[in-house]
Every structure is written in C-alpha cells, then in structure tokens.
Amino acid sequence: MSVDGGTLLAILVMALATVFNRTAGFFLMRLIPVTPRVRKVLDCLPGSVLVALLAPGAVHGDKGMIAGLAAAVITAKLVRNDIIPVAAAMAVAAATRAFLP
C-alpha cells in the first residue's frame, strides 16, 4: 500500500487539470452577458456536445457499434425509460459481433 512521491505528484497535476476544466467554463460565463442570443446558444450546447461525442463514434465504430446505436435510438423513441435503450444496445451489439463477424 505504498504511494510513490512522483506518482502522487503526477496524479495531483492531473487532478488540478481536471478541476480547471470542470470550473473554467462556469467561471468564464460569468464574464459574458447572457443576452437572449447567448441564451439560445447555451440552450443548444448540451445537445451539440452529445451529438459531437456520438457521431464520430458511430462513423469510426464497427458493425456492432452501429447496430447497437440504432437499437438505442429506436427504443429511446419508443419508451421513456433509460434502462431499456442501454440493455437493447448492449444485446444488439453483442449479438451482431457474435453472429456477424
């Protein structure tokens, strides 16, 4: 259960960097006046972040990833429940990878 000094320092540097990332955007928005236009951009930000995370993953992904994402989209549109899209995506991806290599 030893902790090396250099390792601890590296971990602390990373911790500092992640805390900076987690707080900097919130602080900066204090300096930007929230006009109706800025408000609209901010309202569009969450969806855009999620799409920008998901779309390249789908393009670079294998058949299992694409089939699983499609299953998630279909089930998420059909039911208001978070477990079913996750379970469906896992099952479809696992099956696709097992049977359609």
Q: Tell me which residues in 48-77 interact with other proteins (CB under 8 A).
A: 48-57, 59-60, 64-65, 68-69, 71-73, 76-77
Closest to 58 in 3D by CA, of 100, 93, 88: 93
- Does 44 bind other proteins (CB under 8 A)? Our answer is yes
User: From the CB of 100, what's the least distance to other proteins, in Å?
Assistant: 13
Q: Render the burial of 49-66: b for 16+ CB within 10 Å, e for the rest.
A: eeeeeeeeeeeeeeebbb
Out of 33, 63, 90, 100, point to the residue binding other proteins (CB under 8 A).
90
